[in-house]
Structure 1
Protein backbone atom coordinates (compact mmCIF):
# COMPACT_ATOMS: atom_id res chain seq x y z
CA UNK A 1 0.00 0.00 0.00
CA UNK A 2 1.42 3.38 -1.07
CA UNK A 3 0.75 6.24 1.32
CA UNK A 4 0.11 9.92 0.50
CA UNK A 5 0.38 12.71 3.05
CA UNK A 6 -1.31 15.97 2.01
CA UNK A 7 -0.37 19.49 3.14
CA UNK A 8 -2.73 22.42 2.52
CA UNK A 9 -3.32 25.89 3.95
CA UNK A 10 -6.79 26.81 2.73
CA UNK A 11 -9.98 25.54 1.16
CA UNK A 12 -8.51 22.30 -0.13
CA UNK A 13 -10.18 21.92 -3.52
CA UNK A 14 -7.14 19.98 -4.77
CA UNK A 15 -7.15 17.90 -1.58
CA UNK A 16 -10.81 17.03 -2.11
CA UNK A 17 -10.10 16.14 -5.73
CA UNK A 18 -7.16 13.89 -4.75
CA UNK A 19 -9.26 12.18 -2.05
CA UNK A 20 -12.03 11.48 -4.57
CA UNK A 21 -9.55 10.21 -7.18
CA UNK A 22 -8.00 7.65 -4.83
CA UNK A 23 -11.16 6.83 -2.84
CA UNK A 24 -11.63 3.35 -4.30
CA UNK A 25 -7.96 2.59 -4.93
CA UNK A 26 -6.79 -0.47 -2.99
CA UNK A 27 -3.11 0.32 -3.61
CA UNK A 28 -2.92 4.00 -2.61
CA UNK A 29 -4.28 5.64 0.54
CA UNK A 30 -4.30 9.11 2.05
CA UNK A 31 -2.83 8.80 5.54
CA UNK A 32 -3.17 12.39 6.71
CA UNK A 33 -3.94 16.01 5.98
CA UNK A 34 -1.62 18.53 7.63
CA UNK A 35 -2.28 22.27 7.75
CA UNK A 36 -0.77 25.39 9.25
CA UNK A 37 -4.19 27.08 9.42
CA UNK A 38 -6.56 26.29 12.28
CA UNK A 39 -9.45 27.73 10.23
CA UNK A 40 -8.63 26.00 6.92
CA UNK A 41 -11.65 24.48 5.21
CA UNK A 42 -9.43 21.52 4.34
CA UNK A 43 -9.95 20.34 7.94
CA UNK A 44 -13.66 19.87 7.19
CA UNK A 45 -12.72 17.67 4.24
CA UNK A 46 -10.40 15.59 6.43
CA UNK A 47 -13.17 15.09 8.99
CA UNK A 48 -15.79 14.27 6.35
CA UNK A 49 -13.54 11.59 4.83
CA UNK A 50 -12.28 10.26 8.19
CA UNK A 51 -8.67 11.16 7.38
CA UNK A 52 -6.47 12.08 10.35
CA UNK A 53 -5.44 15.74 10.39
CA UNK A 54 -2.84 17.83 12.13
CA UNK A 55 -2.75 21.58 12.71
CA UNK A 56 0.68 23.03 13.40
CA UNK A 57 2.39 26.40 13.48
CA UNK A 58 5.47 27.64 11.63
CA UNK A 59 7.75 26.97 14.60
CA UNK A 60 6.57 23.35 14.86
CA UNK A 61 7.15 22.93 11.12
CA UNK A 62 10.67 24.34 11.25
CA UNK A 63 11.82 22.86 14.54
CA UNK A 64 11.12 19.20 13.93
CA UNK A 65 7.84 18.25 15.60
CA UNK A 66 6.05 18.06 12.22
CA UNK A 67 8.89 15.89 10.87
CA UNK A 68 8.36 13.51 13.81
CA UNK A 69 4.66 13.20 12.87
CA UNK A 70 5.56 12.65 9.20
CA UNK A 71 8.03 9.92 10.14
CA UNK A 72 5.34 8.10 12.15
CA UNK A 73 3.15 7.96 9.02
CA UNK A 74 6.00 6.90 6.69
CA UNK A 75 4.45 8.40 3.52
CA UNK A 76 5.63 7.34 0.10
CA UNK A 77 4.75 10.80 -1.22
CA UNK A 78 4.18 14.16 0.46
CA UNK A 79 1.89 16.35 -1.65
CA UNK A 80 1.72 20.11 -1.17
CA UNK A 81 -1.72 21.08 -2.46
CA UNK A 82 -2.12 24.77 -1.76
CA UNK A 83 0.36 24.81 1.11
CA UNK A 84 1.69 28.33 1.55
CA UNK A 85 4.68 27.99 3.89
CA UNK A 86 8.21 27.30 2.69
CA UNK A 87 8.97 23.66 3.30
CA UNK A 88 11.93 23.15 5.66
CA UNK A 89 15.21 21.74 4.36
CA UNK A 90 15.32 19.20 7.20
CA UNK A 91 12.15 17.52 5.90
CA UNK A 92 13.31 17.74 2.27
CA UNK A 93 16.58 15.99 3.22
CA UNK A 94 14.72 13.13 4.92
CA UNK A 95 12.29 12.75 1.98
CA UNK A 96 14.33 13.54 -1.17
CA UNK A 97 12.26 13.37 -4.38
CA UNK A 98 9.22 12.40 -2.31
CA UNK A 99 7.74 15.89 -1.87
CA UNK A 100 5.83 17.49 -4.73
CA UNK A 101 4.04 20.80 -5.19
CA UNK A 102 1.61 22.19 -7.72
CA UNK A 103 2.09 25.77 -8.90
CA UNK A 104 -0.62 27.75 -10.75
CA UNK A 105 1.65 28.97 -13.58
CA UNK A 106 4.18 27.74 -16.10
CA UNK A 107 7.37 27.90 -14.08
CA UNK A 108 9.97 29.33 -14.09
CA UNK A 109 7.73 32.35 -14.81
CA UNK A 110 5.60 33.67 -11.94
CA UNK A 111 7.26 31.64 -9.21
CA UNK A 112 8.99 32.48 -5.97
CA UNK A 113 8.08 33.97 -2.62
CA UNK A 114 4.64 35.59 -2.57
CA UNK A 115 3.64 34.08 -5.92
CA UNK A 116 0.62 31.96 -5.10
CA UNK A 117 -3.09 31.95 -5.94
CA UNK A 118 -4.55 35.25 -7.09
CA UNK A 119 -1.14 36.97 -6.84
CA UNK A 120 0.04 34.75 -9.70
CA UNK A 121 -3.12 35.21 -11.77
CA UNK A 122 -3.06 39.00 -11.29
CA UNK A 123 0.57 39.19 -12.43
CA UNK A 124 -0.20 37.08 -15.49
CA UNK A 125 -3.16 39.32 -16.37
CA UNK A 126 -1.13 42.51 -15.89
CA UNK A 127 1.60 41.17 -18.18
CA UNK A 128 -1.00 40.38 -20.86
CA UNK A 129 0.09 36.76 -21.20
CA UNK A 130 -1.74 34.74 -23.84
CA UNK A 131 -1.37 31.47 -21.93
CA UNK A 132 -0.65 30.13 -18.49
CA UNK A 133 -0.94 26.73 -16.91
CA UNK A 134 0.26 24.50 -14.11
CA UNK A 135 3.58 23.08 -13.06
CA UNK A 136 3.93 20.04 -10.83
CA UNK A 137 7.45 19.86 -9.44
CA UNK A 138 9.61 18.32 -6.77
CA UNK A 139 10.19 20.53 -3.75
CA UNK A 140 13.72 21.69 -2.99
CA UNK A 141 15.10 24.35 -0.65
CA UNK A 142 14.04 27.23 -2.97
CA UNK A 143 10.49 28.37 -3.73
CA UNK A 144 9.25 26.85 -7.00
CA UNK A 145 12.70 25.80 -8.25
CA UNK A 146 12.56 22.01 -7.89
CA UNK A 147 12.79 19.70 -10.88
CA UNK A 148 9.69 19.81 -13.07
CA UNK A 149 7.57 16.67 -13.26
CA UNK A 150 4.70 17.92 -15.43
CA UNK A 151 3.45 21.09 -17.10
CA UNK A 152 0.23 21.82 -18.95
CA UNK A 153 -0.74 25.09 -20.60
CA UNK A 154 -4.07 26.75 -21.31
CA UNK A 155 -5.03 29.72 -23.50
CA UNK A 156 -6.27 32.72 -21.51
CA UNK A 157 -6.59 35.37 -24.23
CA UNK A 158 -10.31 35.81 -23.49
CA UNK A 159 -9.82 36.07 -19.70
CA UNK A 160 -10.36 39.59 -18.37
CA UNK A 161 -9.86 39.00 -14.64
CA UNK A 162 -7.60 36.99 -12.33
CA UNK A 163 -10.69 35.05 -11.25
CA UNK A 164 -11.34 33.94 -14.85
CA UNK A 165 -7.74 32.78 -15.12
CA UNK A 166 -8.08 30.95 -11.79
CA UNK A 167 -11.06 28.95 -13.09
CA UNK A 168 -9.08 27.73 -16.09
CA UNK A 169 -5.99 26.92 -14.04
CA UNK A 170 -7.95 25.09 -11.34
CA UNK A 171 -9.58 22.97 -14.02
CA UNK A 172 -6.10 21.90 -15.17
CA UNK A 173 -5.06 21.21 -11.57
CA UNK A 174 -8.05 18.98 -10.94
CA UNK A 175 -7.59 17.11 -14.21
CA UNK A 176 -3.87 16.44 -13.96
CA UNK A 177 -2.66 16.53 -10.33
CA UNK A 178 -4.16 13.18 -9.19
CA UNK A 179 -3.01 11.46 -12.40
CA UNK A 180 0.57 12.65 -11.91
CA UNK A 181 0.47 11.49 -8.27
CA UNK A 182 -0.74 8.06 -9.39
CA UNK A 183 2.04 7.84 -12.01
CA UNK A 184 4.67 8.73 -9.43
CA UNK A 185 3.42 6.07 -7.01
CA UNK A 186 2.84 3.33 -9.59
CA UNK A 187 5.30 4.09 -12.41
CA UNK A 188 4.91 0.72 -14.18
CA UNK A 189 1.13 0.70 -14.42
Structure 2
Protein backbone atom coordinates (compact mmCIF):
# COMPACT_ATOMS: atom_id res chain seq x y z
CA UNK A 1 0.00 0.00 0.00
CA UNK A 2 1.51 3.37 -1.00
CA UNK A 3 2.48 6.04 1.50
CA UNK A 4 0.30 9.16 1.41
CA UNK A 5 1.74 12.68 1.52
CA UNK A 6 -0.12 15.95 2.05
CA UNK A 7 1.69 19.17 1.15
CA UNK A 8 1.06 22.70 2.40
CA UNK A 9 2.27 25.74 0.45
CA UNK A 10 1.74 29.51 0.38
CA UNK A 11 3.80 30.69 -2.57
CA UNK A 12 5.02 29.71 -6.00
CA UNK A 13 5.06 26.00 -5.24
CA UNK A 14 8.54 25.28 -6.58
CA UNK A 15 9.18 22.83 -3.73
CA UNK A 16 5.78 21.22 -4.33
CA UNK A 17 6.67 20.66 -7.98
CA UNK A 18 10.14 19.40 -7.12
CA UNK A 19 8.71 16.88 -4.64
CA UNK A 20 6.03 15.80 -7.14
CA UNK A 21 8.66 15.28 -9.84
CA UNK A 22 10.88 13.33 -7.46
CA UNK A 23 8.09 10.85 -6.65
CA UNK A 24 6.28 10.82 -10.01
CA UNK A 25 7.55 7.35 -11.00
CA UNK A 26 7.59 5.93 -7.47
CA UNK A 27 4.52 3.75 -6.96
CA UNK A 28 5.24 3.63 -3.23
CA UNK A 29 4.25 7.28 -2.77
CA UNK A 30 1.08 9.24 -3.53
CA UNK A 31 0.78 13.01 -3.13
CA UNK A 32 -2.87 13.08 -2.13
CA UNK A 33 -3.35 16.85 -2.13
CA UNK A 34 -1.84 20.27 -1.66
CA UNK A 35 -3.39 22.68 0.85
CA UNK A 36 -2.79 26.40 0.57
CA UNK A 37 -3.85 29.70 2.05
CA UNK A 38 -3.33 31.86 -1.06
CA UNK A 39 -5.61 31.25 -4.05
CA UNK A 40 -3.58 33.63 -6.22
CA UNK A 41 -0.25 31.93 -5.49
CA UNK A 42 1.69 30.16 -8.21
CA UNK A 43 1.24 26.81 -6.46
CA UNK A 44 -2.41 26.73 -7.63
CA UNK A 45 -1.40 26.69 -11.31
CA UNK A 46 1.41 24.23 -10.65
CA UNK A 47 -1.05 21.83 -9.03
CA UNK A 48 -3.41 22.10 -12.03
CA UNK A 49 -0.54 21.34 -14.39
CA UNK A 50 0.69 18.45 -12.22
CA UNK A 51 -2.79 17.00 -11.72
CA UNK A 52 -2.62 17.26 -7.93
CA UNK A 53 -5.79 18.36 -6.11
CA UNK A 54 -5.43 21.78 -4.49
CA UNK A 55 -7.55 22.85 -1.53
CA UNK A 56 -7.59 26.49 -0.51
CA UNK A 57 -8.52 27.63 2.97
CA UNK A 58 -8.63 30.81 5.02
CA UNK A 59 -7.73 31.60 8.63
CA UNK A 60 -11.22 30.75 9.85
CA UNK A 61 -10.97 27.26 8.35
CA UNK A 62 -7.51 26.72 9.84
CA UNK A 63 -8.67 27.92 13.25
CA UNK A 64 -11.48 25.35 13.19
CA UNK A 65 -8.87 22.86 14.31
CA UNK A 66 -11.25 19.94 14.81
CA UNK A 67 -12.69 20.38 11.33
CA UNK A 68 -9.32 20.92 9.67
CA UNK A 69 -7.72 17.98 11.45
CA UNK A 70 -10.67 15.84 10.35
CA UNK A 71 -10.26 16.91 6.73
CA UNK A 72 -6.56 16.14 6.84
CA UNK A 73 -7.13 12.77 8.51
CA UNK A 74 -9.57 11.83 5.73
CA UNK A 75 -6.56 11.69 3.37
CA UNK A 76 -4.84 9.18 5.69
CA UNK A 77 -1.47 10.95 5.48
CA UNK A 78 1.70 9.17 6.45
CA UNK A 79 3.46 12.53 6.29
CA UNK A 80 2.29 16.16 6.25
CA UNK A 81 4.92 18.36 4.58
CA UNK A 82 5.05 22.13 4.93
CA UNK A 83 6.72 23.10 1.66
CA UNK A 84 6.84 26.88 1.85
CA UNK A 85 3.78 27.33 4.06
CA UNK A 86 3.93 30.63 5.94
CA UNK A 87 1.18 30.40 8.54
CA UNK A 88 1.70 28.90 11.97
CA UNK A 89 -0.12 25.59 12.27
CA UNK A 90 -2.41 25.54 15.32
CA UNK A 91 -1.22 23.42 18.23
CA UNK A 92 -4.20 21.05 18.02
CA UNK A 93 -3.38 20.17 14.41
CA UNK A 94 0.32 19.78 15.22
CA UNK A 95 -0.59 17.36 18.00
CA UNK A 96 -2.94 15.41 15.70
CA UNK A 97 0.01 14.71 13.38
CA UNK A 98 2.83 14.65 15.92
CA UNK A 99 5.90 13.00 14.48
CA UNK A 100 4.34 13.07 11.00
CA UNK A 101 4.49 16.81 10.17
CA UNK A 102 7.70 18.36 8.85
CA UNK A 103 8.84 21.75 7.63
CA UNK A 104 11.77 23.17 5.71
CA UNK A 105 13.44 26.42 6.75
CA UNK A 106 15.89 28.32 4.50
CA UNK A 107 18.61 28.76 7.14
CA UNK A 108 20.58 26.78 9.67
CA UNK A 109 18.27 26.86 12.67
CA UNK A 110 18.30 28.14 15.32
CA UNK A 111 19.83 31.04 13.35
CA UNK A 112 17.36 33.23 11.48
CA UNK A 113 14.23 31.38 12.58
CA UNK A 114 11.01 32.44 14.22
CA UNK A 115 7.97 34.49 13.38
CA UNK A 116 8.36 36.59 10.26
CA UNK A 117 11.57 34.87 9.17
CA UNK A 118 10.92 33.38 5.74
CA UNK A 119 12.07 33.72 2.15
CA UNK A 120 14.20 36.73 1.28
CA UNK A 121 13.96 38.07 4.84
CA UNK A 122 16.10 35.13 5.93
CA UNK A 123 18.66 35.56 3.15
CA UNK A 124 18.89 39.31 3.82
CA UNK A 125 19.59 38.58 7.50
CA UNK A 126 22.29 36.04 6.60
CA UNK A 127 24.11 38.58 4.42
CA UNK A 128 23.55 41.47 6.86
CA UNK A 129 24.92 39.42 9.78
CA UNK A 130 27.97 38.26 7.82
CA UNK A 131 27.27 34.55 8.30
CA UNK A 132 30.02 32.34 6.87
CA UNK A 133 27.57 29.54 6.09
CA UNK A 134 23.85 29.14 5.57
CA UNK A 135 21.64 26.37 4.31
CA UNK A 136 18.47 24.47 5.03
CA UNK A 137 16.96 22.87 8.08
CA UNK A 138 14.34 20.16 7.74
CA UNK A 139 12.62 19.67 11.07
CA UNK A 140 9.57 18.27 12.77
CA UNK A 141 6.82 20.80 13.41
CA UNK A 142 5.96 21.56 17.00
CA UNK A 143 3.91 24.31 18.60
CA UNK A 144 6.53 27.07 18.16
CA UNK A 145 7.93 28.61 14.98
CA UNK A 146 10.99 26.75 13.66
CA UNK A 147 11.55 24.98 16.96
CA UNK A 148 10.92 21.27 16.29
CA UNK A 149 13.56 18.56 16.38
CA UNK A 150 16.01 18.78 13.48
CA UNK A 151 15.87 15.97 10.93
CA UNK A 152 18.54 17.23 8.53
CA UNK A 153 20.72 20.28 7.95
CA UNK A 154 22.77 20.96 4.84
CA UNK A 155 24.92 24.04 4.36
CA UNK A 156 26.70 26.16 1.77
CA UNK A 157 29.37 28.84 2.03
CA UNK A 158 28.27 32.45 1.95
CA UNK A 159 30.98 33.97 -0.21
CA UNK A 160 32.29 37.51 0.01
CA UNK A 161 30.15 39.57 -2.33
CA UNK A 162 27.13 37.26 -2.12
CA UNK A 163 23.81 39.09 -2.19
CA UNK A 164 20.53 37.92 -0.68
CA UNK A 165 19.58 36.82 -4.21
CA UNK A 166 22.72 34.71 -4.75
CA UNK A 167 22.32 33.20 -1.29
CA UNK A 168 18.69 32.39 -2.14
CA UNK A 169 19.86 30.55 -5.26
CA UNK A 170 22.33 28.45 -3.28
CA UNK A 171 19.71 27.63 -0.64
CA UNK A 172 17.09 26.71 -3.25
CA UNK A 173 19.56 24.27 -4.80
CA UNK A 174 19.91 22.58 -1.39
CA UNK A 175 16.12 22.49 -0.97
CA UNK A 176 15.60 20.84 -4.34
CA UNK A 177 18.32 18.27 -3.74
CA UNK A 178 17.68 17.29 -0.13
CA UNK A 179 14.00 17.92 0.71
CA UNK A 180 12.57 15.07 -1.41
CA UNK A 181 15.31 12.71 -0.25
CA UNK A 182 14.57 13.54 3.40
CA UNK A 183 10.87 12.87 2.81
CA UNK A 184 11.72 9.54 1.21
CA UNK A 185 13.99 8.56 4.11
CA UNK A 186 11.23 9.36 6.63
CA UNK A 187 8.67 7.34 4.69
CA UNK A 188 11.05 4.42 4.13
CA UNK A 189 13.67 4.25 6.88
CA UNK A 190 16.69 2.29 5.72
CA UNK A 191 16.63 0.00 8.73
CA UNK A 192 12.86 -0.16 9.04
The TM-score, its normalising length taken from structure 1, stands at 0.97
Q: In the alignment, is residue 129 of structure 1 matched against residue 168 of structure 2?
A: no
> What is the aligned partner in structure 2 of residue 113 from structure 1?
115
Question: Where does residue 158 of structure 1 map in the other structure?
Answer: 160
**Equivalent residue, structure 1, for 2:25:** 24
Residue 36 of structure 1: aligned partner = 37
- Matched with 1:187 is 189
The aligned residue for residue 49 of structure 1 is 50
Match of 2:86 in 1: 84
Equivalent position SS for 2:166: helix
Q: Displacement of 1:159 after TM fit? A: 4.4
Query: Is the contact between residue 92 and residue 141 of structure 1 (CA under 8 Å) also seen in structure 2?
Result: yes
Instruction: Give 1:14's aligned residue.
Output: 15
Query: Which residues of structure 1 form unaligned runs of 5+?
Result: none
Tell me if structure 2 keeps the 8 A contact 1:101–1:137. Answer: yes
Judge which range, 104-113 or 49-58, deviates more: 49-58
- Alignment length (residue pairs): 189
Q: Is 1:2 aligned with 2:25?
A: no
Which residue, out of 176, 182, 185, partners 2:178? Answer: 176
Q: Where in structure 1 do 4 or more consecutive aligned residues deviate above 2 Å?
A: none
**Could you say if the C-alpha distance between residues 30 and 87 of structure 1 is closer, same or farther in structure 2, counting changes exceeding 3 Å?**
same
After superposition, the C-alpha distances for 1:83-119 in whole angstroms (9 at most, x for unaligned) are: 0000111111111110000000000110000000000
The secondary structure found in structure 2 opposite 1:78 is strand
CA distance in 1, matches of 2:38, 2:120: 18
With structure 2 as the length reference, what TM-score do the two structures score?
Answer: 0.96
Check whether the contact 1:159–1:165 (CA below 8 A) recurs between aligned residues.
no
Alignment CA distance shift 1:187-1:159 (3 Å) = farther
Per-residue deviation, 1:135: 0.2
Cα distance change, pair 26–63 in 1 and its aligned pair in 2 (3 A): same
Aligned-partner Cα distance in 2 for 1:10–1:161:
22
Q: What is the CA–CA distance in structure 2 between the aligned matches of 1:62 and 1:159, rounded to whole Å?
A: 43
Q: CA deviation at 1:66?
A: 2.5
| Runs of 5+ unmatched residues, structure 2 | none
Shift of 1:188: 2.7
Query: Which residue in the other structure is 1:58 paired with?
Result: 59
